[in-house]
Amino acid sequence: MSAQVQAQLPLTAQKRSGLPRSSGWLFIVWGLVVVSALAVSYSSHWSRVLLNELAAEMDQREDAQAEWGRLILEQSTWTAHSRVERLAASELQMRVPEAREVILVKP
């Protein structure tokens, strides 16, 4: 076509080179979809990592609670009244005083 005829044709009939004008928005939307997909993947991975750490901490807490229970039982064994009285009598030769040996001190 000649230049005069081409100038008279509307823009839609003229040959355009390159991509359509709306393709820029498509690239932007495509980029956002890709970024969103990567964010979901990263978020899922991070969630699993934190869940594994939580499970490990819960196991450690259960172990500490079991150890605490054993220590409390051991403490109650070592401080039992019968044991303390027996040791006081046998090793320190202590005894319960009689009523006439007790002296009250007034403040």
Mean pLDDT, 10 residues at a time, the chain of 107 residues: 56 63 87 97 98 98 98 92 90 92 91
What per-residue confidence (pLDDT) applies to 44?
A: 97
For residues 3-28, one letter each, b for 16 or more C-beta atoms within 10 angstroms of the residue's C-beta and e for the rest, the string is: eeeeeeeeeeeeeeeeeeeeeeeeee
What per-residue confidence (pLDDT) applies to 107?
A: 87
What per-residue confidence (pLDDT) applies to 16?
A: 63
Containing H/E element for 55? Answer: helix 23-78
Q: Which amino acid is at 96?
A: V
Quickly list DSSP for 62-91.
Answer: HHHHHHHHHHHHHHHHHT-HHHHHHHHHHH
Q: What count of other Cβ atoms lies within 10 Å of the Cβ of residue 43?
A: 10
Distance CA 99, CA 52 (A): 66
What per-residue confidence (pLDDT) applies to 4?
A: 58
